[in-house]
Structure 1
Amino acid sequence: MGIRFNALNNALPSLRMEGVQSRPPAETLPANVSPTGGIAQPSLTAAEPLNGRLVAPFPPNNAGGQRVTSAVAPAQEQGDMPMQPLEAAIEADGKVDGLQQALNQPAARVRAFRFLMAAESVRGRELEARYDQLEHRLSTVNARLQRAESIMVQIDARLERARLQHDLEMVAGDIRRFRLEHAFEASASVPETVEPEPPEPSQSGPATSQPSAPTRQPVLNLFA
Structure 2
Amino acid sequence: MTTPTPPEAPRVRLVVVDDDPLVRAGLALMLGGAEGILLVGEAADGSEVAGLVGRVRPDVVLMDIRMPGMDGLTATEALRRRPGAPEVVVLTTFHADEQVLRAIRAGAAGFVLKDTPPAQIVEAVLRVAAGEPVLSPAVTRRLMARAAGDPAHDGMARRARARRRFAELGERERDVAAAVGRGGSNAEIAAALHLSVATVKTHVSRILARLDLNNRVQIALLVHDAGLLHEDGDQPPGTGPA
Tell me the TM-score normalised to structure 2 length: 0.20
Higher fraction of strand: 2
Q: Is the radius of gyration larger for structure 1 or structure 2? A: 1
More RCO (CA 8 Å, sep 6+): 2
